[in-house]
Chains A and B, each alone.
Chain A
Amino acid sequence: MPPELDEDALEYLIARAGLSPTAEQMAGLKAAYPHVAAMAANVRKPRGRMAEPVLTYGFAEEDLA
């Protein structure tokens, strides 16, 4: 993810999400984007393809009933 986002890319992302922000909000989003990009870079570490996400559920007795 690039550290900066041009207007077209930002508009694309917002349109894809189906959102309708004001011009002021778009400016705020553009300013906030480097922080989001930094967080995304922070979690992107070299890890093997077998490193799974946290499981969101586990099978319990009810599943076997």
Chain B
Amino acid sequence: MSDIPTIAAAAKLIAARKLSPVELARACLDRVYSLDSTLHSFLLVTEEKAMADARAAEAAIMAGRSTGPLCGIPIGLKDIVDTKGIRTTCHSKILTDNIPDTDATCAVKLAEAGTVLMGKTATHEFADGGPSFDLPWPPARNPWNTEHFTAGSSSGTGAGVAAGLILGGIGTDTGGSIRGPAALCGIAGIKPTYGLVSRAGVAPAAFTLDHIGPMAWTAEDCALMLQALAGHDPRDPASASRPIPDYTAQLGAGIKGMRIGVIHHFHEVDHKVSDGTQRGIDAAIATFRSLGAEITEVTLSPLADWHACGTLISLTERASAYDEWARTRLGDFSARVQQRLLLGALVSGVDYVQAVRRRRELRAELQAAMAGLDVVLTAAQPQEAPKIDSVPEWDVGQKPGFTMPFNVAGYPAMSICSGFGEGDLPVAIQLVGKPFQEPTLLRIADAFEKATPFRARRPALSAALVAA
């Protein structure tokens, strides 16, 4: 293969019988074996299953029984997603030998769509903390520069997609764990509306903040994956019961007259971003304007308010979810997760409920601010990927992040690449839609990607391998 295709491009070639799912899987596996000893994207490569899935997809295509655009597409599942009969560790010593006896709903849906499971991808332990060097497996590395951090917690999926080891994958997002690695790895990632994609069979991080979503090279690819993933699931008590629209129907329709609100104070005052990130945001606004969008300014409560609300809820719900192991096996968690679990003990019941009451106020504020708008825009990350050994350990006092507000609100949000900054590392913007308005969000993100050159460039290490 002369190039790493997007899901959309591969799907067209596969449907036209110009690309064999078996050859595509083989090419991805070859890249895994060439690069992943450096990248550490995978905790487990399921080669035998991948080739069996690919042969099944190929047989379906040849028999005229395609399961749709994901038929024969190589994907990875974050290793907090249960997979029946396949080791699922949550990147933790505690679950080193865990073999689930059922699949998570998202794994079932992607399998039914005909995807090829390449393996289980690295995560921060139980989707928290990280990067940790005191776990049975090393943390994933950023393909744009392997001395740098991927962000997390969906670190392996981010690195694997960026390097072309997989064409898409599952991430989870409790405070930014899809959008963070998407931003630092230069790919696209969408955190859907809370309840749109089932959480059943996925290890919890914080029950009321957890979202499951796709990560891929483009917004269009995310739309194709979301189509397979969305839908009501009685196994998830928070699952929404709503009709599922066609997530690709609006792509390419243009964005003339669409209304984009920019939350300038988030990234210019509350937590000032790096020069490269700011340049990416400014250029993105100019691009949207040139495409005919109307740009306005939006003001919300300070980022610190959203951060306080989300962090208190997150610390407490996580401490509750892992209470038994925290009491009996604290030392078996990474140092970073131990710290988070201990912090949960410092949050009182009243603090938690006040945070949940505050959440309702903040959500109402966002709802009012977005009246008359299609999306809002801010940063996805404060800066380009830092060095992996420079990420602080006790991060409770860090400046507030840009992603947590939309976990607090439950609104759909995505990160897309908006250029390259310091060290030639990717920078990103974050777009936020209204609840269940993913088609609009994806349409705007897709229009941006198609109007800019950033999707034509891959990390040098994988580009060199493809060219060889």
- A residues touching B (Cβ–Cβ < 8 Å)? 1, 5, 13-14, 16-21, 25, 28-29, 31-33, 35-36, 38-40, 42-45, 47, 51-54, 56-57, 60-62
Judging by beta carbons under 8 Å apart, are A25 and B342 in contact?
A: yes
The minimal Cβ–Cβ distance linking B323 to chain A, given in whole angstroms, is 8
Give every chain B residue within 8 A of A38 (Cβ-Cβ). Answer: 308
Judging by beta carbons under 8 Å apart, are A54 and B308 in contact?
A: no
Judging by beta carbons under 8 Å apart, are B241 and A28 in contact?
A: no
B62 at the A interface (CB under 8 A): no
- Stretch of B99-107, B131-139, B168-176, B347-355 lying at the A interface: B347-355
Judging by beta carbons under 8 Å apart, are B311 and A39 in contact?
A: yes
The minimal Cβ–Cβ distance linking A35 to chain B, given in whole angstroms, is 4
Judging by beta carbons under 8 Å apart, are A44 and B354 in contact?
A: yes
B33 at the A interface (CB under 8 A): no
B358 at the A interface (CB under 8 A): yes
Whether A29 contacts B208 in the complex (CB less than 8 A), given A35-B396, A40-B312, A43-B355, comes out as: no
Give every chain B residue within 8 A of A56 (Cβ-Cβ). Answer: 208, 238
Give every chain A residue within 8 A of B339 (Cβ-Cβ). Answer: 25, 28-29, 32
Judging by beta carbons under 8 Å apart, are A19 and B345 in contact?
A: yes
Judging by beta carbons under 8 Å apart, are A18 and B327 in contact?
A: yes
Give every chain A residue within 8 A of B396 (Cβ-Cβ). Answer: 32, 35-36
The minimal Cβ–Cβ distance linking A38 to chain B, given in whole angstroms, is 7
- For the complex, count residues of B whose C-beta is within 8 A of A: 42
B312 touches which one: A5, A25, A43 (CB < 8 A)? A43
Judging by beta carbons under 8 Å apart, are B342 and A43 in contact?
A: no
B348 touches which one: A1, A32, A52 (CB < 8 A)? A1
Give every chain A residue within 8 A of B75 (Cβ-Cβ). Answer: none
Give every chain A residue within 8 A of B312 (Cβ-Cβ). Answer: 36, 39-40, 43
Judging by beta carbons under 8 Å apart, are A16 and B356 in contact?
A: no
B292 at the A interface (CB under 8 A): no
Give every chain A residue within 8 A of B358 (Cβ-Cβ). Answer: 42-43, 45
B341 at the A interface (CB under 8 A): yes
